[in-house]
Amino acid sequence: MAAQHAAQDAPQDTPHSPARDATAGPATDAATDPAADGGPDGARDDGVRDDGVREREVRAEQAHLDTVYRRLEEKIDEAEFLMNDASQRSQVGTPGALAERDAQVFRAGIHLNRLNSEFEDFLFGRVDLLSGKDGVRGADGAYLSVEPAENAVRPDGTADIAETLHIGRLGVLDADYSPLVIDWRAPAAAPFYRATPVEPGRVVRRRVIRSKGRRVLGVEDDLLRPEITARLDGAELAVVGDGALMASLGRARSHAMRDIVASIQAEQDMVIRAPAASVTEVEGGPGTGKTAVALHRAAYLLYQDRRRYAGGILIVSPTPLLVSYTEGVLPSLGEEGQVAIRALGSLADGAEAHGSYGGDGSYGADGSYGAEADGAARTAFDAPRVARVKGSARMVRVLRASARGALGRDGAPERLRVVVFGARVELDAEELRAIRRQVLGGTAPLNLMRPRARRFVLDALWEKSGAAARYPDDPELEQEAREGFDEDVSTEPEFQEFLDAWWPELAPRQVLAAMADERALARWAGRTLRAGEAADVARSLGRLDAAGQGPLSVHDVALLDELQVLLGTPARPRQQTEADLLAELGVQEVTTAADRNTARRERAERLAEERTDYAHVIVDEAQDLTPMQWRMVGRRGRHATWTVVGDPAQSSWPDTEEAAAARDEALGSRPRRRFELSVNYRNPAEVAELADRVLALAMPGVVPPKAVRSTGLEPRFAVAQGDLGASVRAEARRLLDEVEGTVGVVVAMERRTQAREWLAGLGDRVVPLGSLEAKGLEYDATLVVSPAEIAGGAPRDGGSGAGAAGTVGLRTLYVALTRATQRLTILSGERDAADDAGVPELLRD
Ligand SMILES: Nc1ncnc2c1ncn2[C@@H]1O[C@H](COP(=O)(O)OP(=O)(O)OP(=O)(O)O)[C@@H](O)[C@H]1O
């Protein structure tokens, strides 16, 4: 059992442990399933040593799983009956009864959906427990105490198992309400995740059950109290297997992340189940499970307080690639609908939100670092120099000035002429400018200032007309005349046209387009940006047309979101719906319950898409958010509780202080609870050791996470001879032969188009990636192409040319080096100054 806890207590341990030696004799999975895997790292040591124990244990679990499925079938039948019965019932009745019936059908529908979902391993865990300290049992029949009763272990070291709990993705009760399966998020399931050999509590044996469909394939046990001899139903407790964690870590990776529900470790469980109040901050190095933990936490929060989180949970991811990699995890945990996983580039500007990572390898409009070849029409990539300006909080001032400036630009009329009360009244350019300045003295968003602008123009016209002088002593008459004047003027089509042109309702994209004018932007930016910076930003926006249509970068999206706030959206008259019309006609009940359920679901989906304020916000890779992005995300969680996970050592944002201030502003004064994750579950020790050399350069003094396993395979160093592309292709092929699953090829950002060409035709197991796109992802094998190019050629001593940019480059290289779960190849190019052994300068000891 100790294998699992080697992870927490002595990460360098191999999977073999004293506890395993204490087993009743591990047998082979082959005994029960010839196809059962041992994991490519050979962590499983299956041989012909089956003494029947494993077979017997698997049979026992199979019997339990059969009972569970029988019960599930009964529940499905019940839910179906309820659905059919209720939706066929008469369509008339009191509004209260109808609403109750609809709610019942709705609940039954959700339940049915969840039960019908194909869970590959519905039941995955079991704990065998000693009796509880105070003997008190909770509502689900389980002992409440995590500590064993004083007499649970006899003086001779023997003990009886008092309670066995099975853990699964959903809770299932037997007909007599005894628990057949405990939901993994229920308090009673906590010992499954929390118990360690040091603090085992009541847990004697923890078992991970592997199943496929309805068939149990194998079991992996951890013995937490090897010092006692425990009996279950009179027989000695059997312990089989090498531990589930190692088996799971060694498996080949696909392009989709898997849930870790069967092997969550104690330090991770503390985060997942942390109370939702305020802000939960989690830091940990690469591979410590931050993303996995964040996703499981979302599922836990929903389970724990579904009503509260009906307000929605938002998970913010840095790239669309990471969104598509992680988006299957929550459905596999039985949770969908309430959780929105969005890339930073999809958070704003509605039109972008539909874009996602396309099957052809191109990005949608939400892309951050655009794929020029096929995504060029819709996405763009900002050079780091430009990104740094666009991401800075200084842009708030620039945007405010630009929005105001854009109001009076091209085509804004210089003169207003109206005929009223038979006379011509005119305002010239100077007068109009003065009125505009006066209007802008207000604080409302620009588009909401239109009524104020209209009023000020009418005031000026009235004054100019001299009409007031006609009523020197009669304010009432003057008031009446003024009303007539206003009405006359405002109903003139010319006046309407003038107002539309002089104070147009601006769209955020229009302002962005106006900022593409270098001279105008330099004026608006004033001293907030340096001349070169304003010119860089203006030039980068040249890809937009006059209406602001065209490809956006991920940084542009945060600017658009800020502009949305600065401009505001005027209220529009609500469109009358079919339902409104029917209600007006006095028709109350013309739809069936099924119709209304569909409508309700559609409405919920639409609301989820349009939602901009969430009950809980989870930020993944938080170290990478720019100040402008923190502002954008912060607006979506003004009333939310937060979970923020990240690793400063992987940050690609240079100005960490500015980002920290923006983060503080987004999170407000809510109290914070901090957690650290310390174990690297992804990289073998051999890979981690190499990456740690770069960490030491990038962030001297930072303690790296401890790698939990070792493969015995040292990273390979190769040097490109002549044609870099040919070498990349050859090394990628080599890795494809060596691993079963995926191969990530990481190149400097400016080489990503080339990389795609170099690797064309090698199949979809291999993925070319720009260094910044590799964030959060992992592959069986990684080929890192030219560390010096990825790090931006930063000299290792931090001397000339290094500075902040060098540190960011090194952190980016650290990310690239920590993506592999099995094998790593480093390919040096011209700039790497590789030594005779092929080791590039940046990676030498
Ligand atoms: N308790 C666990 N059991 C099994 N696998 C785990 C466990 N914890 C983490 N892993 C695996 O380790 C790998 C790394 O996890 P994850 O991507 O969540 O790490 P991370 O801290 O977000 O990494 P990075 O900082 O590089 O983005 C994943 O394959 C994940 O499934």
Q: Which residue has the higher pLDDT, 278 or 399?
A: 399
State residue 605's pLDDT score.
55
Instruction: Find the residues whose C-beta lies inside 6 A of ligand 1.
Output: 245, 248-249, 258, 260, 263-265, 268, 284, 286-292, 647, 650, 681-682, 776, 778, 818
- pLDDT tens across 575-603, in order? 555 555 555 554 444 444 455 455 555 55
Instruction: Say whether both 656 and 706 belong to one domain.
Output: no
Q: Is residue 844 part of a domain?
A: no
In a domain, 382, yes or no: no
- Examine the pLDDT at 796 and tell me if it is beyond 50: no
Task: Please state the rounded mean pLDDT for residues 196-205.
Answer: 86
Q: Are residues 483 and 540 in the same domain?
A: yes
In a domain, 411, yes or no: yes
CA of 257 to the centre of ligand 1 (A): 9
Q: pLDDT of 754-791, one tens digit each?
A: 999 999 999 999 999 999 899 999 999 999 999 999 99
Q: For the segment 455-489, what is each residue's pLDDT rounded down to a tens digit?
A: 999 999 999 888 878 887 888 888 888 999 999 89
pLDDT at res. 263 = 82
652 within domain boundaries: yes
Among residues 657, 677, 697, the one where a domain terminates is: 677
**Lowest mean pLDDT, pick from 133-137, 259-263, 295-299, 734-738:** 133-137
Was 484 annotated as part of a binding site? no
Residue found under tokens 């039954």: 108
* pLDDT at residue 471, as a whole number: 80
- Domain-located, residue 267: no
Considering Cα of 587, then 592, then 598, then 600, what sign does the dihedral take? Answer: positive
Measured from the Cα of 262, ligand 1's closest atom is 3
Angle, vertex CA 370, rays to CA 366 and CA 371, nearest 5: 125
Query: Residue 88's pLDDT band (boundaries 50, 70, 90)?
Result: low
Residue 636 falls inside a structural domain: yes
Structure tokens at 213: 């469909």
Ligand 1 centre and the CA of 246: distance in Å? 13
Percent over 90 (pLDDT), the chain: 47
Residue 441 annotated as part of some ligand binding site: no
State both tokens at 386. 């430009």
The answer to whether residue 29 scores a pLDDT higher than 50 is no
Confidence of residue 364 (pLDDT cuts 50, 70, 90): very low
Output the CA 248–ligand 1 centroid distance in Å: 11
Q: Are 390 and 559 within 8 A, CB to CB?
A: yes
Q: Which residue has the higher pLDDT, 181 or 78?
A: 181
Number of domains in the chain: 5
For 261, how many CA atoms within 13 A lie in the half-sphere containing its CB? 34
pLDDT tier, 18 (very low <50, low <70, confident <90, very high otherwise)? very low
Residue 747, domain member (yes or no): yes
Task: Tell me, yes or no, whether 219 and 296 share the same domain.
Answer: no
**Which domain covers residue 55, as residue numbers?**
49-117
Q: Which of 181-190, 245-254, 275-284, 661-670 has the lowest mean pLDDT?
A: 245-254
> Which of residues 643 and 249 earns the better pLDDT score?
643
Q: Which amino acid is at 21?
A: D
Distance 400 CA to ligand 1 centre (A): 41
Residues 655 and 689 occupy one common structural domain: no
Residues 209 and 152 in one domain: yes
Of 73, 101, 117, which residue constitutes the final position of a domain? Answer: 117
Do 691 and 764 fall into the same domain?
yes
What's the 351 CA to ligand 1 centre distance in angstroms? 33
Domain boundary among 96, 117, 138: 117
pLDDT tens digits, residue range 733-755?
999 999 999 999 999 988 989 99
> Residue 492 has what pLDDT?
86
What is the pTM assigned to this prediction?
0.77
Q: Is residue 280 domain-shared with residue 141, that is, in the same domain?
A: no
Residue 25 inside a domain? The answer is no
Is residue 266 scored above 60 in pLDDT?
yes
Could you count the other beta carbons within 10 Å of the beta carbon of residue 483?
10
Indicate which residue's Cα is closest to atom 25 of ligand 1.
286
Q: What is the pLDDT of residues 509-518, one digit of tens each?
A: 999 999 999 9
Q: Are residues 548 and 443 in the same domain?
A: yes
Q: What is the pLDDT of residues 332-344, one digit of tens each?
A: 787 767 888 999 9
Residue 704 and residue 656 share a domain: no
Average pLDDT, rounded, for the chain: 80
CA distances from 487 to 495, 506, 586, 757, 767 (A): 11, 26, 38, 66, 66
Ligand 1 centroid from CA 495, angstroms: 63
Write the CATH number for 712.
3.40.50.300
Are 122 and 184 within 8 A, CB to CB?
A: no
Q: Which of 288, 297, 619, 706 to mutate to test the pocket of ligand 1 (most atoms within 8 A of CB)?
A: 288
Lowest mean pLDDT among 448-457, 567-576, 599-608: 599-608
What confidence category does residue 571 fall into, taking pLDDT thresholds of 50, 70 and 90? low
Give the per-residue pLDDT at 6. 32
Statement to judge: residues 107 and 129 lie in one domain: no
Pair 345, 411 in one domain = no
Tell me the β-bridge partners of 342: 316
Substitution candidate for ligand 1 out of 323, 681, 746 with most atoms within 8 A of CB: 681
Asked if 690 and 655 sit in the same domain, the reply is no
